[in-house]
Amino acid sequence: MKLSKKITLVKNFFFIKIENLKKLINLIKNMKGIIDVNLKKNRYVGAATGAKNLIIVLDTSSSMSQIVREENSTLSRMAIAREAIGFLIDTMTNADLCGFVQFNTNATHFADVLLPVNATTKDKIKAFVNKLEPQGLTNYEDGFRKAFQILNNTYNNKARGANGLLSEDCATVILFLTDGKINEGERDKNVLMSLMRQWDSKHNATIISYTLGDSSENEVPKLIACQHRGFWKKIENITKLKNELSS
């Protein structure tokens, strides 16, 4: 298949309307293969087993405590995000490197470099995520600043990552999950976009943005994804995820 057809298929795949989490979980199941597209070199890195550098950036502001009720199910947006992140991490292989950032009023990270994905790393990241509770404001700037610091630290690390496996030829992907409008840090979208272009100048990361809930902010997450070779999705009905993960 020609490259142009492959890219078209990828684009078409991601513009399917997501009406509920049954579609989202199928998307996540296929994401591991899709993000193997190395957009900075306009070629496929490999099949679903291709190595990738992934950072998950999760909004943990107070609005993530909002309860969503649907079909006799009651879960918070944070609970849904925890489930989705745990599932995604479980699909990763020991060829991948992973990092995690959570942000509200300020941002914190799991580790200051990308780590090799093995059973221990998976368990530790999931345990870290499961302890997070919604609080504070929504600071996109600090969340992305921290994510790009992790990339800088990893590329600058003498060991070339945590175990010497980091490859600049691998796809670098930031998965961004939020439900809130910026109310802390840089609020001007144009200034924020300029900052992110500077931070990303040597990484060429692909950013995939999901906005959670029918009252979520859409404009800036969409702009972030479009500026960074990715895609954006609004997830309106998210409470089916628990059943999907357990089925």
What was the pLDDT predicted at 182? 92
What was the pLDDT predicted at 159? 43
HEC assignment per residue over the chain: CCHHHHHHHHHHHHCCCCCCHHHHHHHHHHHHHHCCEECCCCEECCCCCCCEEEEEEEECCHHHHCEEEECCEEEEHHHHHHHHHHHHHHHCCCCCEEEEEEECCCEEECCCCCEECCHHHHHHHHHHHHCCCCCCCCCHHHHHHHHHHHHHHHHHCCCCCCCCCCCCCCEEEEEEEECCCCCCCCCCHHHHHHHHHHHCCCCCCEEEEEEECCCCCCHHHHHHHHHCCCEEEEECCCCCHHHHHHC
Q: What is the pLDDT of the chain when averaged over all its residues?
A: 75
Q: How confident is the model at residue 92 (pLDDT cuts 50, 70, 90)?
A: confident
Token digits of residue 112: 């200051």
The answer on pLDDT for 85 being more than 70 is yes
Q: How confident is the model at residue 222 (pLDDT cuts 50, 70, 90)?
A: very high
Higher per-residue confidence, 134 vs 39: 134
CA-CA distances (angstroms) from residue 59 to 77, 107, 133, 134, 141?
Answer: 10, 9, 10, 8, 12
Q: How confident is the model at residue 183 (pLDDT cuts 50, 70, 90)?
A: very high
Q: What is the mean pLDDT of residues 45-60?
A: 70
Percent of the chain scored above 70 by pLDDT? 66
What was the pLDDT predicted at 91? 82
What was the pLDDT predicted at 18? 42
pLDDT in tens, 128-137: 999 999 999 9
